[in-house]
Amino acid sequence: MATALGLARQGIRSHVLEQAPQLREVGAGLQLGPNGLRALDHLGVLDHLFKTAVFPQHQVLLDVQTGKIIKVLDMGAKFSTRYGYPYILAHRHDLLDALAKACEDSGLVTVQTSKAVTHVIDRENSAEVQCADGSHYVCNALIAADGLRSVVRKEIFVDDPLRPTPYAAFRGTLPAAEIVPQTGKDDLLIWAGSDSHLVQYPLRGGELYNQVAVLRTDHGFDTEDDRQAASAELDTRFSTAHPSVRAGVRKINRGARWTLWDRDPIVVWTKHRIALLGDAAHPMLQFMAQGACQALEDAVCLSWRLGQTPDNIERAFTLYQNTRVLRATRVQLTTRFMDRLWHPSGTDSTLRDEFLSKLAPTDYELFDWLYGDKTFVEGTHVA
Ligand SMILES: Cc1cc2nc3c(=O)[nH]c(=O)nc-3n(C[C@H](O)[C@H](O)[C@H](O)COP(=O)(O)OP(=O)(O)OC[C@H]3O[C@@H](n4cnc5c(N)ncnc54)[C@H](O)[C@@H]3O)c2cc1C
């Protein structure tokens, strides 16, 4: 929807095919860093999103067992001034609503749901898409934002395996009144442990509270027995944790569990009139809360490039790819490294704490490359 809106902002019409019966997001929160907000500002939806967003004042890293504060990052005025945008905590529904409403208002986006794309044909000067219900579409250009298990990536680009990680996540929201946050009520908390972590933050102006519990596991989640075992494992894993963590984990929704996957980076995302975008191009672990932010950067970059050369789609797609590949790959690979920051044990843990304790809450240099980047709208990585 962000890409469709970006195209509409350039005066380009698009048609969205969505496999789900409705446009819906999972009922959970999303952290959006200043780079994601820069993209959303280009799409013109910040005002809408700010109505319900929470603006955290601090990101606090705590020891999951003892509750000791390891590091505080100041996310207040100095942070927003440095990057030009704040860090926000948004409900996924609210982001989707903002994008869908703006798409509708543009009059340039049409959407069809219950349209699962099963097959794609590259016709060089056009692309053909076939759907599970037998319908097919021929288009001037095809942008595949079809996520981690992208059909288009597999059929047109590479049939590469998902890269397994030992981690799975449970997540969900609950009324904020049911949780007593360990530090300030608007803080973003990350409770880190050697084989698990818990992220907690408020949503919807403080009405709701979001929690994501991540743990190492080798259990499945397919049968009812698996689900009961996974739920018991979640409790066991956090059974010796700080009381605030135990209280939060007890209330996490057990109905769904997300196995964390990524794939190795690829450098070719476009072919003739077909382009990959978002998780379809660069799926990443969620340890830096950047997957959606990177997809938003892609959306703005691709539509900007198409707006620049509307008569040469292939050239616009190549410019988009060349602008984005290095940046998205850096985020994708750095995210893997973050495993060592969130889940160290023994000496690694001591070294991490010592390193982080030397940083002041307003030492932002480590984040400049991530939050300050403007290449997706200024395009300096172009070959
Ligand atoms: C636990 C967890 C927490 C996360 N937290 C954050 C965070 O805080 N901040 C952040 O920036 N990112 C976060 N992410 C990552 C983020 O959710 C993803 O990177 C982002 O959703 C990717 O967007 P996308 O549009 O590329 O793909 P998706 O969100 O997967 O959307 C793909 C869409 O395509 C549709 N589709 C798929 N296949 C087909 C088909 N064949 N035909 C038609 N339609 C199809 C799907 O139904 C879906 O609507 C998190 C991820 C997880 C798992």
CB 7 near ligand 1, within 6 Å? no
- Ligand 1 atom at minimum distance from 36 CA: 11
- CA distances to 27, 212, 254 from 222, rounded to whole Å, are 21, 20, 13
- CA distances to 6, 72, 218, 227, 289 from 33, rounded to whole Å, are 19, 16, 31, 33, 8
- Secondary-structure breakdown of the chain: helix, strand, coil percentages, each rounded to the nearest 5: 40, 25, 35
* Cβ–Cβ under 8 Å, residues 202 and 176: yes
- Ligand 1 atom at minimum distance from 2 CA: 25
CB 33 near ligand 1, within 6 Å? no
Residue 231 within a domain: no
CB 117 near ligand 1, within 6 Å? yes
Residue 214 within a domain: no
pLDDT value of residue 382: 45
DSSP-derived secondary structure for 189-210: EEEE-SSEEEEEEEEGGGTEEE
How remote is the CA of residue 266 from the centroid of ligand 1, in Å?
A: 18
Give the separation between CA 154 and CA 274, rounded to whole angstroms: 13
How remote is the CA of residue 352 from the centroid of ligand 1, in Å?
A: 31
Residue 368 within a domain: yes
Return the SS3 of 167.
Answer: strand
Nearest CA to ligand 1 atom 49: 18
Residue 91 within a domain: yes
Nearest CA to ligand 1 atom 2: 286
Residue 234 within a domain: no
How remote is the CA of residue 149 from the centroid of ligand 1, in Å?
A: 10
- Ligand 1 atom at minimum distance from 17 CA: 43
pLDDT value of residue 255: 84
CB 291 near ligand 1, within 6 Å? yes
Instruction: Kindly list the averaged pLDDT for each block of 10 residues, start to end, along the chain of length 383.
Output: 98 97 88 98 96 96 95 97 98 96 98 98 97 98 98 98 90 93 92 94 95 89 83 92 96 90 96 98 96 98 95 97 97 93 91 93 96 87 45
Residue 185 within a domain: no
How remote is the CA of residue 291 from the centroid of ligand 1, in Å?
A: 8
How remote is the CA of residue 280 from the centroid of ligand 1, in Å?
A: 9
Q: Which helix (H) or strand (E) holds 357?
A: helix 346-357
DSSP-derived secondary structure for 86-154: --EEEEHHHHHHHHHHHHHHHT-EEEESS--EEEEEE-SSSEEEEETTS-EEEES-EEE---TT-HHII
- Ligand 1 atom at minimum distance from 258 CA: 53
CB 290 near ligand 1, within 6 Å? yes
CB 61 near ligand 1, within 6 Å? no
CB 19 near ligand 1, within 6 Å? yes
How remote is the CA of residue 380 from the centroid of ligand 1, in Å?
A: 27
pTM, rounded to two decimals = 0.96
CATH code assigned at 100: 3.50.50.60
Residue 202 within a domain: no
Mutate to test the pocket of ligand 1, among 133, 279, 331, 332 (most ligand atoms within 8 A of CB): 279
CB 351 near ligand 1, within 6 Å? no
Give the separation between CA 153 and CA 275, rounded to whole angstroms: 9
Mutate to test the pocket of ligand 1, among 18, 43, 150, 284 (most ligand atoms within 8 A of CB): 18
How remote is the CA of residue 26 from the centroid of ligand 1, in Å?
A: 10
Burial 342-366 (b: 16+ CB within 10 A, else e): bbbeeeebeebbeeeeeeebeebee
How remote is the CA of residue 241 from the centroid of ligand 1, in Å?
A: 30
The phi and psi torsions of 157 (rounded to 5 degrees) equal -110, -75
Instruction: Please give the residue range of the domain that contains residue 275.
Output: 2-55+84-160+263-340+362-378
Burial 13-46 (b: 16+ CB within 10 A, else e): ebebbbeeeeeeeeebbbbbbbbbbbbbbbbbbb
CB 298 near ligand 1, within 6 Å? no
How remote is the CA of residue 147 from the centroid of ligand 1, in Å?
A: 5
Residue 273 within a domain: yes
Q: How many domains does the chain have?
A: 1
